[in-house]
Amino acid sequence: MIVIIKPEARQEHIDSLITNLQKTYPVEIQAVKGAHCTILGLVGDTSHIDPSSIENRDIVDKVSRVSEPFKKANRSFHPDNTIIEVMGRQIGGEEIAIIAGPCSVESEEQIISIAKDVKESGATFLRGGAYKPRTSPYAFQGLEEDGLELLKIAQEKTGLPIVTEIMYPHTIDKFVEDVDIIQVGARNMQNFGLLKELGRIDKPVLLKRGLASTIEEWLMSAEYIMAGGNENVILCERGIRTFESYTRNTLDLSAIPAVKKLSHLPVIIDPSHATGLSWMVEPLACAAIAAGADGLIIEVHNDPTAALCDGPQSLTPNKFDKLMTKMKKYAEVEGRTIITNRG
Amino acid sequence: MIVIIKPEARQEHIDSLITNLQKTYPVEIQAVKGAHCTILGLVGDTSHIDPSSIENRDIVDKVSRVSEPFKKANRSFHPDNTIIEVMGRQIGGEEIAIIAGPCSVESEEQIISIAKDVKESGATFLRGGAYKPRTSPYAFQGLEEDGLELLKIAQEKTGLPIVTEIMYPHTIDKFVEDVDIIQVGARNMQNFGLLKELGRIDKPVLLKRGLASTIEEWLMSAEYIMAGGNENVILCERGIRTFESYTRNTLDLSAIPAVKKLSHLPVIIDPSHATGLSWMVEPLACAAIAAGADGLIIEVHNDPTAALCDGPQSLTPNKFDKLMTKMKKYAEVEGRTIITNRG
Amino acid sequence: MIVIIKPEARQEHIDSLITNLQKTYPVEIQAVKGAHCTILGLVGDTSHIDPSSIENRDIVDKVSRVSEPFKKANRSFHPDNTIIEVMGRQIGGEEIAIIAGPCSVESEEQIISIAKDVKESGATFLRGGAYKPRTSPYAFQGLEEDGLELLKIAQEKTGLPIVTEIMYPHTIDKFVEDVDIIQVGARNMQNFGLLKELGRIDKPVLLKRGLASTIEEWLMSAEYIMAGGNENVILCERGIRTFESYTRNTLDLSAIPAVKKLSHLPVIIDPSHATGLSWMVEPLACAAIAAGADGLIIEVHNDPTAALCDGPQSLTPNKFDKLMTKMKKYAEVEGRTIITNRG
Amino acid sequence: MIVIIKPEARQEHIDSLITNLQKTYPVEIQAVKGAHCTILGLVGDTSHIDPSSIENRDIVDKVSRVSEPFKKANRSFHPDNTIIEVMGRQIGGEEIAIIAGPCSVESEEQIISIAKDVKESGATFLRGGAYKPRTSPYAFQGLEEDGLELLKIAQEKTGLPIVTEIMYPHTIDKFVEDVDIIQVGARNMQNFGLLKELGRIDKPVLLKRGLASTIEEWLMSAEYIMAGGNENVILCERGIRTFESYTRNTLDLSAIPAVKKLSHLPVIIDPSHATGLSWMVEPLACAAIAAGADGLIIEVHNDPTAALCDGPQSLTPNKFDKLMTKMKKYAEVEGRTIITNRG
């Protein structure tokens, strides 16, 4: 950590700051005194230091980090990729995880039918919303507990592990019991109460990136879960908010190589929510694989025009099947695997 | 609501869509048939219609709203300003509400000393964080319950109503009992579970705008609380996330006239968090009054360089006192009131 | 085009607006009168109508377009892909165009050496900056005319067509003479004076997307060039400005399918400038091909650490060669061609 | 300037970098060697150093500036406010400059009528567009040279100095002759060819901030003009592009105190273009004065509904007159002056 001292600071105040920092933090401090300003280098473990607690001193101009503020999520301290195992499947290993299913669970018939279809095409996980975060209080909020029950039935019938979003901390026990991967939605990425609860369990957590969150903040939210003891975190990029309104959000595929460099955690891509346009799913899903993604989460609905939410971004099972065939070829170029029934 | 039909749609499908819409929603439908496309006008109460449920039909090109999707927060249905009364003070009336205090409650001595100082200068409410949302799990998380106790003591000693942030739904009963205005932070603006809980009580809620939330989404979050039955919502603009990094966020003062036009709810401004720079608080607080704000929330700390969080953006009590004198003059030009002890 | 009339408008004013619109524009007007508002549908060729000239009437609430405001760049009126031919190579056809070279031309030795290297690896065009747009007046501004001369020499020695950026309208004749594809930089995307000049010539123009330009504005800038008579426009996405600062800009790969749907013009990707990080070029270049890009523009420098500008984002010739081998495999999956000397 | 060396760098490479930097730049270099990394402090005049030319070395992790990259625009080297004099009026002094007039010059009658009206209300400058930058090639492009002639007539009749936008470098001589303040539009803020030309003259230049330009980049564009010899630069904030679409752009009033701290140049505000909504002009113009603006540029049209461009954001002369009365009161609170005929 580098502390830049204001040019006008007096030497006695600088000395007193140095003494104070050495007392407060387990760091060694080295000073460069130049014609225009003095710079302090804080050497040692600085991940627990809050820069603003230093920046608020009168004589400090700015503080800049040299090392990242996250530790458990940091590849420097954990060079190998984290591979998360769920019911015999892996996320983060050679196989590319394909999580598919409808935006919302609507009925037993619907979820089982889609689950069978996507499994047939080679999906390795089933997604489906039971609790739905909606901008309007008047919009369909999901089947809630009943939705979880239907997902469990679909899991039993197909053997596909299920992925679904948690919204309320008080439902966590039920989620631990019923769900295979617990999803945290973009709007809850900094719901720190929820993150702390998820740190206390050992179920895998799929953590979506917030609409206006930097990659560093996203990794800090993963750190919240990991600091609590749950290191099974899967990151999911789903588009960030920008000035462009042609797509619902702007899918940031550069987040894949960035996360791979900074962290050992797996990273997957959600092209359906990012763009909100079903015809963009194919090119961007293929692009995600080429950019190194560990998996994809894709909306599939057997009747997108009658879906209770997010219809325009869903693929039909037939289009999903064709996409799987194409993605399989891209996976091969990357030296990775997607297993479809078509061979 | 306007539904634009794709040029290639067949008449029988258009007719079937019209029949279906008329069955599903309490609206009258009128069609314009042109050379290039057909347009449907949905006339009536469309606030409960989810546009995506129409947009996902094959023959629909796009759907655009004519009226806003919020109702209880909408000025069209409630032309007079909402005035919220708290312990004899008003927010949204002639008097400009001044909410001042430290980022975090740190000790009894600290909070009482600051409370007395800001009251002396004319503040009408005391703010102070007990539960702190922090990006890093390793940063100071607030005194939590103990912080609420200290705020209560400060309230008793000074008579100032207290404003503090809620983070966890399970603490709501304690907040209802101890707190005068319950704040929802920017990161929780779309924590719908929390919003629903706040709809069930009748304490005033100060709802901060999310970092990447549009004005419409912010009003929809207010609508969540109001739809539950709690109409005491105060909106607070605290900067949005943009590409500019000189300030922590970009304070959007045009949100004031926008909210005033769209809604009857009071709107206040937080220049301290928006900019993160204490020397910007004065010009932007005055600007907020000139733009029509109903109040301000300002960080004041008796020793900003030793504050446990957000020091660089806090004013000293002395600077706050000078700011009050200046704001008072601006309030007068606006025909509004700030009462300071200096007359 | 849809014109939504304010609810309070009087019938006589609506009638007078209709008469006025019919006189001014070659359109047919149809009105829907509902309980809450009246809506006018303007049917016919509306691409030349400026919506704000209608929106500024007292009785008009808002105007929304049904069809796009661009015509010559519009796929609706030109369903087949535009293929641009330059010295026997194609952009927009089956072959993927690979434009490679240094950020700046620095010396004859440098540009010839890099040109030979990239040709050897299979590049089909040589890029190199002669006139450099730099944020600081004190930074290296390029070799200017001398740079153009060196590019010409490199073109003669290798047969690679050259791509370089124009900055000043007065240099256009020289560019037409010396350059094979004239590049318009992101900062000049709405330099309408320059665009008009480029409409008068028939050299291909590579039009970079502005840092804060929507896809529609980008296509409108292409329309400026095409409206002047030059239909040889190649679009180039190079990252947009967002709140994320880990990468220099955020590469928007969803622009590829968007442009392909809206327009018939070829679209290429610049991963080097988008990210500013050489180690991100490989994953994002492969992703661009998978997303359907017609080409790539990639910075290659024989000594990136000594480059006069933009070193950190350049690949060495050796890394570029490996990238070509990988991209070739992705192109094959897409059913497209990249020809490298390695087979 | 601080250079952070990668942890894995070998000492001999660090030494060789130090030697190389000392040879290349007029700076003294001091090194801090810590357990995890080495940091170099470059002390002296670093404003001419391009950080990327250092950052591209293999052993360098990152480079961070301590001092700003602009010099002539920098308040550190020029503590007093720059006051620009134009025909007896001042911009940057005690008096607040009020620049008013139509978006476009449309006819002699129109411009003279508006000029008289705004002068009567107390405006000190007349604005009016002759060359108009329009997104669409099919929209009205301004009266061009004829527009300049009409502005001259209006200037002669009213004595108001005229402010109008330049678009093409080749028109600069005509602008120097006819115009009192030459405006550079937001889309041309980084049209470096134009900026260089403006550096060679001594007319005041009103430099609008680009839609996606940081405050630092804006000051660097001012530096381009000043480095050429023309120090008469007035900065104008006109809204930045964000995700919010309720207003056309987001007016960034925190840019006023930021510019005042970083630079000695005057800064004015354009609320008309920033919001695109005439009813927002009053609150935001008053807010700008409260935030410390040196002036305002406001669109006034005698018949906004018939304006050839930007009608919805124009005030009528009558509303402008009322606004002047209100702004005058705010100016007084700030200890500044606006002179209106109403006293």
Other beta carbons within 10 angstroms of residue D88's beta carbon come to: 8
- Say which range, B280-294, C248-262, D49-63, D298-312, has the weakest mean pLDDT: D298-312
Q: Do B227 and A187 touch (CB under 8 A)?
A: no
User: B243 contacts in C (CB within 8 Å)?
Assistant: 212, 241-243
- What is the residue-averaged pLDDT of chain C? 92
Describe the strand order of the beta sheet including A2-5 as a list of residue ranges: A27-33, A38-44, A2-5, A60-64
Neighbouring C-alpha atoms within 13 Å toward the C-beta of D128? 38
A286 touches chain C (CB under 8 A): yes
Considering the domain architecture, whether residues A30 and A91 belong to the same structural domain is answered as: no
**Chain mean position to CA C10:** 46
Kindly tell me the burial class for residue B282, based on how many C-beta atoms sit within 10 Å of its own C-beta (0-12, 13-18, 19 or more). buried
Number of Cβ pairs closer than 8 Å across B and D?
Answer: 111
Q: What is the CATH number of the domain that holds B320?
A: 3.20.20.70
Residue B72 domain flag: no
Contact assessment for residue C239 and residue C247, using Cβ atoms and an 8 Å cutoff: yes
pLDDT for A48: 76
Q: What is the pLDDT of residue D313?
A: 83
pLDDT of residue C310: 64
Q: How many CA atoms lie within 13 A of B276 on its CB side?
A: 16
Residue to test with chain C: of D72, D192, D278, most C Cβ within 10 A = D192
CB contacts of B284 in chain D (<8 Å) are 253-254, 257, 291
Q: From B17, which residue of chain A is nearest by alpha-carbon distance?
A: A305
Q: Is the pLDDT of residue B43 over 90?
A: no
CA pair distance A237, A273, nearest whole angstrom: 10
Phi, psi of B167 (to 5 degrees): -120, -30
Whether A109 and A158 share a structural domain:
yes
In this complex, which of B170, B196, B311 lies closest to A56 when CB atoms are compared?
Answer: B311
Regarding whether A213 and A150 lie in a shared domain, the answer is yes
Residue D57 · residue D2 · CB < 8 Å: no
Q: Which residue has the tokens 């053997």?
A: A159
The more confidently predicted of residues D341 and A64 is A64
Which of A7-11, D37-41, D237-241 has maximum average pLDDT? D237-241
Subunit contact B258:D246, Cβ cutoff 8 A: yes
Please report, for the domain that includes residue A18, its CATH number. 3.30.70.1140
Which whole number is the average pLDDT over D123-152? 95
The answer to whether residue B192 scores a pLDDT higher than 90 is: yes
**Ramachandran region of residue B87, left (φ > 0), alpha (ψ -120 to 50) or beta?**
left
Chain B residues closer than 8 Å to C31 by CB: 32
Report if residue D140 sits inside a domain: yes
Q: Do residues D175 and D98 share a domain?
A: yes
**Measured between CB atoms, does B11 come within 8 Å of chain A?**
no
Instruction: Answer yes or no: is the ipTM higher than 0.85.
Output: yes
Angstrom distance (rounded) from CA B313 to CA B304 = 8
CA of B78 vs chain C CAs: smallest distance (Å): 17
Interior CA angle at B273 toward B267 and B274, to 5°? 70
Q: How far is CA D15 from CA A33, B154, C303, in A?
A: 19, 59, 20
Domain shared by D49 and D148, yes or no: no
Against chain A, the chains showing at least 3 CB pairs within 8 Å are B, C, D
Q: Does residue B203 lie within any of the structural domains?
A: yes
Residues above pLDDT 70, as percent of chain B: 96
- pLDDT at D299 (0 to 100): 96
In tens, the pLDDT along B213-227 reads 999 999 999 999 999
CA distance D320 to D84: 25
Neighbours of B22 (CB within 10 A): 13
Taking only the tens place, the pLDDT of each residue in A45-81 is 787 787 877 887 878 888 888 778 899 999 988 999 9
Domain boundary among D64, D97, D116: D64
Q: Is the pLDDT of residue D341 over 90?
A: no
How much helix, strand and coil, in percent to the nearest 5, is found in chain C?
40, 20, 40
Residue B310 pLDDT: 64
Q: Which chain B residues contact residue D251 at CB under 8 A?
A: 252-254
| Whole-angstrom distance, CA of residue D263 vs CA of residue D68 | 10
For residues D52-80, average pLDDT = 86
The chains in contact with chain C, meaning 3 or more Cβ pairs closer than 8 Å, are A, B, D
CB nearest to C41's CB, from B34, B64, B66? B34
Report the run of H or E that residue B86 belongs to, with start and end: strand B84-86
- Which of B168, B192, B311 lies at the smallest CB-CB distance from A193? B168
* A61 touching D (Cβ < 8 Å): yes
**What sign results for the dihedral spanned by CA atoms D299, D305, D306, D311?**
positive
**Structural tokens at position D184:** 């550079």
Query: A287–C283: do the CB atoms touch at under 8 Å?
Result: no
Binning pLDDT at 50, 70 and 90, where does residue D343 land?
A: very low
Query: Given A211, A220, A312, which is nearest B136 (Cβ)?
Result: A220
Numbers of helices and strands, H then E, in chain D: 11, 14
C157, C129: one domain: yes
Pick from D37, D212, D242: which is nearest to A66 by CB? D37
Q: Return the residue of A nearest to D5 by Cα.
A: A66
Name the amino acid, one letter, at C169: P
Tokens of C125: 């065009």
Nearest beta carbon to residue A243 from set C214, C253, C261: C214
Answer yes or no: is D338 within a domain. no
- Cα distances from A291 to residues A150, A260, A279, A295, in angstroms, run 35, 11, 20, 11
- Could you tell me if D168 and D237 lie in one domain? yes
**Interface contact A69, partner B, CB < 8 A:** yes
A267–chain C Cβ distance below 8 A for any pair = no
Residues B45 and B112 in one domain: no
For residues A55 and A120, membership in a common domain is answered with no
Q: How high is the pLDDT of residue C343?
A: 46
Q: Which residues of D touch A28 (CB under 8 A)?
A: 34-35
Distance separating alpha carbons of residues C287 and C284, to the nearest angstrom: 5
Domain boundary among A17, A32, A64: A64
Tell me whether C44 touches chain B (CB under 8 Å): yes
- B78 inside domain: no
Alpha carbon of D109: minimum distance to chain C alpha carbons (Å): 20
- Would residue A234 count as lying in a domain? yes
Q: Please check whether residues B60 and B28 belong to one and the same domain.
A: yes
Provide the token pair at D336.
């500044």
Burial of A3 by CB count in 10 Å (0-12 exposed, 13-18 middle, 19+ buried)? buried
Whether the CB of A243 is below 8 Å from some CB of chain D: the reply is yes
How many contacts (CB atoms, under 8 Å) link A and D?
62
Can you tell me the distance from the alpha carbon of C315 to that of B330, in angstroms, rounded to the nearest whole number?
A: 58
Number of domains in chain B: 2
Instruction: Name the burial class of residue D35, with classes exposed (0-12), middle (13-18) and buried (19+) by CB atoms within 10 angstroms of its CB.
Output: exposed
- What pLDDT digit, counting tens, does each position of B93-146 carry? 999 999 999 999 999 999 999 999 999 999 999 999 999 999 999 888 999 999
Among the three residues C20, C36, C64, which one is the final residue of a domain in this structure? Answer: C64
Reading chain A (343 residues) residue by residue, the pLDDT tens digits are 888 888 788 888 899 889 988 888 888 888 877 666 788 888 777 877 878 778 878 788 888 887 788 999 999 889 999 999 999 999 999 999 999 999 999 999 999 999 999 999 999 999 999 999 999 998 889 999 999 999 999 999 999 999 999 999 999 999 999 999 999 999 999 999 999 999 999 999 999 999 999 999 999 999 999 999 999 999 999 999 999 999 999 999 999 999 999 999 999 999 999 999 999 999 999 999 999 999 999 999 987 766 666 667 889 999 999 999 999 999 999 999 998 765 4
Phi-psi domain of A139 (left: phi exceeds 0; alpha: psi -120 through 50; beta: other): beta
- Residues C97 and C238 occupy one common structural domain: yes
pLDDT score of D304: 72
How many C-beta atoms surround the C-beta of residue B43 within 10 A? 18
Within 8 A of A212 by CB-CB distance, chain D residues are: 243
State which residue of chain A sits closest to B212, comparing Cα positions.
A212
pLDDT at res. B343: 46
- Sign of torsion, CA D283 D264 B247 D249? positive
CB pairs under 8 A between A and C: 111
In this complex, the residue of D244, D286, D329 whose CB is nearest that of residue B215 is D244
What's the mean pLDDT when you consider all of chain D? 92
**pLDDT number for residue D32:** 74
Domain housing B289: 84-333
Strands C2-5, C38-44: parallel, antiparallel or unpaired by DSSP?
Answer: antiparallel
List, as ranges, residues 113-172 from B with C-beta within 8 Å of C. none
Q: In this complex, which of C28, C61, C245 lies closest to B34 when CB atoms are compared?
A: C28
Q: Which chain A residues in 201-220 lie under 8 Å from chain C, judged by CB atoms? A: 212, 214-216
Name the stretches of chain C with pLDDT < 50: 343
> Is the CB of A300 inside 8 Å of chain B's CB atoms?
no
**pLDDT for position A343:** 46
Nearest CB neighbour to A212, from listed C243, C246, C279: C243
- Assess if residue C343 is contained within a domain: no
- Are B247 and B149 in the same domain? yes
Q: Is residue D343 part of a domain?
A: no
